[in-house]
């Protein structure tokens, strides 16, 4: 009998935690729920899941935009949402079915951070219980979400407190009761709960950032990213692109660089005028900085070691007037196809892609004048753009990432000619992947000189990033002399 009861308990637990099937994805909220279900089960990026699921349904661009808003917004604010929910739900979270909790998370996201009226957010979330064939959840969902609406006020302030919730606007919304840890006596916990950060990032950032930098970073990571646009000035002008987008009722703002713009688009940005013709491409200004730091020149031989999907590669080509020789390499043949597609769309002729192995074999044997090494990283500088990255962050991973980053850096550096320069670039702001790593490598390699470096924290003014300009001294390495045979490879 004991074993039979154990089997029954296990079966009940399995049934409670089983993913439910949405009968019909006929709204943005239903699509958002399906995306979160699959993300939680697979860990895949929300943008990829949205594209895949959206292709199976014929939702309007408004409903698709709502799905993006709700799904990505829920991931962005998830810890804050959970704190709010736990203040209103009497039973432990472990006793709430996973899909019911996801429904509640979607509802709270809309009430606290969305643009829909409160009644529409509550009613639409309750309606989803019927799409899941769980009408018994309707009353509970309605009650919890209406309690959340009563928790919110219309008062805003500039100071943090236990009853104040930060918003992307840079202000705090007052609540009718204390739900967060105290920002004075427990500042790390408050920052993590209120700004929706895992404890590890909250502790690390609080330990090395001043209060101003910490708040700027926190608010930036809550905000929806502004799309960066890089105009291909070899084919058109910035003013022509601005006028072209204006006819499509898309407003732009000048960027930090002559060739950059900022834009907010309600739909698929690839469908905007000029994209298919190669007049512009999507790239954040923090990424553009690395190419400007390398300062590619006409006639140079340039290596882009981790080139996919090709944003920096094509920028190097444009900055050099498309008359350098750029070798774009990657360990993934599929991702190299993305580089080739961008090269074709932008009508560039100076880039040749080449697949290499993880140990660096497959690289041309001759030396390069310059190299770009945009390394894989923890992505802590781009949490606004990649909301999932905060929940993937593990301090234990930093050691392995640093080893990989160092190996990639040295692989490219070994291919530089004497006097050649290299830019090491990452969208992390963690010292293990940025300043500390470069200091350790420079100290260990006598022929390497750090000429310049820049680190941008999130929100100052865009995504966080790091770039270091390194120069090689000394004589040509054995086995790296330019040969006619290797010259022909490019």
Q: Give the start-to-end residue ranges of the domains of the chain.
A: 13-153, 227-282, 285-487
pLDDT at 60 over 90: no
pLDDT grade for 437, boundaries at 50, 70 and 90: very high
Q: Is 151 within 8 Å of 111 (Cβ atoms)?
A: no
**In this structure, are residues 354 and 332 in contact, taking their beta carbons and an 8 Å threshold?**
no
Amino acid 487: pLDDT? 38
pLDDT value for 283: 93
CATH number of 285-487: 3.40.50.150
381 pLDDT higher than 60? yes
pLDDT tens digits, residue range 313-352? 999 999 999 999 999 999 999 999 999 999 999 999 999 9
CB 216 within 8 A of CB 459: yes
Enter the CATH code of domain 13-153.
Answer: 1.10.940.10
Distance, CA of 6 to CA of 437 (rounded, Å): 52
User: Is pLDDT above 70 for 184?
Assistant: yes
Q: How far is the C-alpha of 58 from the C-alpha of 63, rounded, in Å?
A: 10
Ranges 82-96, 171-185, 363-377, 468-482: which has the least confidence = 468-482
DSSP-derived letter for residue 93 is G
Residue 23 is predicted with a pLDDT of 64
Task: For residue 71, give the 3-state DSSP assignment.
Answer: helix
DSSP assignment of 99-144: HHHHHHHHHHHHHHHSSS-HHHHHHHHHHHHHHTT-GGGHHHHHHH
**Which conformational region is residue 20 in: left (phi greater than 0), alpha (psi within -120 to 50 degrees), or beta?**
beta
Q: CA separation (Å) from 21 to 101, 131, 173, 471?
A: 15, 8, 36, 57
Q: What is the pLDDT of residues 31-54, one digit of tens each?
A: 999 999 999 999 888 888 888 887
What's the CA gap between 249 and 195, in Å, rounded?
33
Q: At 483, is the pLDDT very low, low, confident or very high (cuts 50, 70, 90)?
A: very low
pLDDT in the model for residue 322: 98
The CA–CA distances, whole Å, from 214 to 146, 156, 191, 209 equal: 33, 20, 9, 6
**Bridge partners, 354 (sequence order):** 329
Percentage of the chain beyond pLDDT 70 is 91
CB 131 within 8 A of CB 24: yes
Q: Please say if the pLDDT value at position 407 is more than 90.
A: yes
* Overall residue count recorded for the chain in this entry: 490
Q: Which long-range contacts (CB under 8 A, 24 or more apart) does 61-66 make?
A: 61/266, 61/267, 61/268, 62/28, 63/27, 63/28, 63/31, 64/28, 64/31, 64/267, 65/28, 65/266, 65/267, 66/27, 66/28, 66/29, 66/32
Of the chain, the percentage scoring pLDDT greater than 90 comes to: 76
User: Taking residues 106-126, what's their average pLDDT?
Assistant: 95
Span of 46-55, 121-130, 207-216 with lowest mean pLDDT: 46-55
Residue 178 CA to residue 195 CA, distance in Å, equals 15
The bridge status of strand 325-330 relative to strand 301-304 is parallel
Q: How confident is the model at residue 218 (pLDDT cuts 50, 70, 90)?
A: very high
Q: What is the mean pLDDT of residues 272-279?
A: 95
For residue 489, is pLDDT > 70? Answer: no
- Distance, CA of 479 to CA of 121 (rounded, Å): 66
Average pLDDT value for residue range 96-113: 96
**pLDDT at 269 (0 to 100):** 78
The superfamily in CATH containing domain 227-282 is: Sun protein; domain 3 (3.30.70.1170)
Weakest mean pLDDT among 42-46, 123-127, 176-180, 291-295: 42-46
Q: How far apart are CA 254 and CA 407, in angstroms?
A: 38
Using DSSP bridges, classify how beta strands 172-175 and 227-231 pair: parallel, antiparallel or unpaired.
Answer: unpaired
Confidence of residue 10 (pLDDT cuts 50, 70, 90): very low
pTM for this entry? 0.88
**Which backbone phi and psi does 218 adopt, to 5 degrees?**
-60, -50
> Considering just the CA atoms, what is the radius of gyration of the chain in Å?
25
On whether the CB atoms of residues 269 and 252 are closer than 8 A, the answer is no
User: Is the model's pLDDT at 478 over the cut of 80?
Assistant: no
Tokens representing 330 are 């990657």
Confidence band for 62, pLDDT divided at 50, 70 and 90:
confident
Structure tokens at 231: 């105009």
Q: What average pLDDT does this structure show over 458-479?
A: 82
């Amino acid at each position: 009998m004991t074993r039979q009861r154990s089997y029954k308990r296990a079966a009940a637990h399995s049934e409670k935690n089983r993913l439910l099937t949405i009968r019909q994805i006929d709204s943005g909220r239903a699509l958002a729920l399906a995306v979160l279900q699959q993300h939680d089960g697979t860990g895949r990026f929300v943008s990829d899941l949205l594209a895949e699921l959206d292709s199976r349904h014929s939702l309007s661009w408004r409903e698709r935009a709502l799905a993006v808003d709700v799904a990505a917004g829920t991931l962005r604010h998830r810890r804050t949402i959970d704190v709010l929910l736990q203040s209103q739900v009497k039973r432990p979270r472990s006793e709430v079915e996973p899909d019911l909790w996801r429904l509640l998370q979607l509802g709270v996201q809309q009430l606290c951070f969305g643009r829909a009226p409160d009644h529409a957010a509550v009613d639409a979330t309750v309606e989803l219980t019927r799409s899941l064939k769980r009408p018994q959840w309707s009353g509970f969902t309605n009650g919890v979400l209406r309690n959340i609406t009563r928790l919110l006020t219309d008062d805003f302030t500039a100071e943090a407190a236990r009853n104040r919730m930060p918003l992307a606007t840079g202000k705090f919304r007052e609540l009718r009761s204390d739900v967060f840890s105290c920002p004075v006596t427990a500042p790390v916990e408050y920052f993590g709960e209120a700004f929706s950060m895992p404890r590890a990032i909250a502790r690390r950032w609080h330990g090395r950032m001043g209060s101003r930098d910490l708040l700027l970073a926190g608010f930036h990571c809550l905000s929806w990213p502004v799309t960066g646009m890089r105009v291909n000035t070899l084919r058109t002008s910035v003013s022509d692109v601005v006028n072209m987008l204006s006819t499509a009722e898309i407003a732009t703002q000048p960027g930090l660089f002559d060739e950059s713009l900022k834009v907010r688009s309600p739909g698929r940005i690839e469908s905007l005028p000029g994209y298919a013709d190669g007049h512009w491409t999507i790239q954040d200004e923090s990424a553009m900085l690395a190419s400007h730091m390398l300062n590619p020149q006409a006639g140079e031989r340039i290596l882009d070691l981790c080139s996919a999907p090709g944003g920096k590669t094509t920028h190097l080509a444009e900055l050099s007037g498309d008359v350098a020789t750029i070798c774009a390499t990657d360990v993934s043949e599929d991702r190299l196809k993305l580089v080739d597609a961008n090269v074709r769309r932008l009508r560039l002729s100076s880039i040749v892609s080449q697949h290499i192995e993880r140990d660096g074999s497959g690289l041309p044997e001759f030396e390069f004048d310059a190299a770009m090494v945009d390394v894989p990283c923890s992505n802590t500088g781009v949490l606004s753009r990649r909301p999932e990255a905060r929940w993937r962050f593990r301090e234990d991973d930093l050691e392995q990432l640093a080893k990989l980053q160092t190996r990639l850096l040295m692989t490219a550096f070994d291919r530089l000619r004497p006097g050649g320069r290299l830019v090491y670039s990452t969208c992390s702001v963690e010292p293990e992947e940025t300043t500390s790593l470069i200091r350790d490598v420079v100290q260990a390699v006598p022929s390497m000189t750090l000429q310049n470096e820049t680190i941008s924290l999130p929100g100052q003014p865009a995504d966080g990033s790091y770039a270091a300009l390194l120069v090689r001294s000394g004589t040509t390495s054995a086995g790296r002399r330019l040969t006619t045979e290797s010259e022909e490879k490019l």
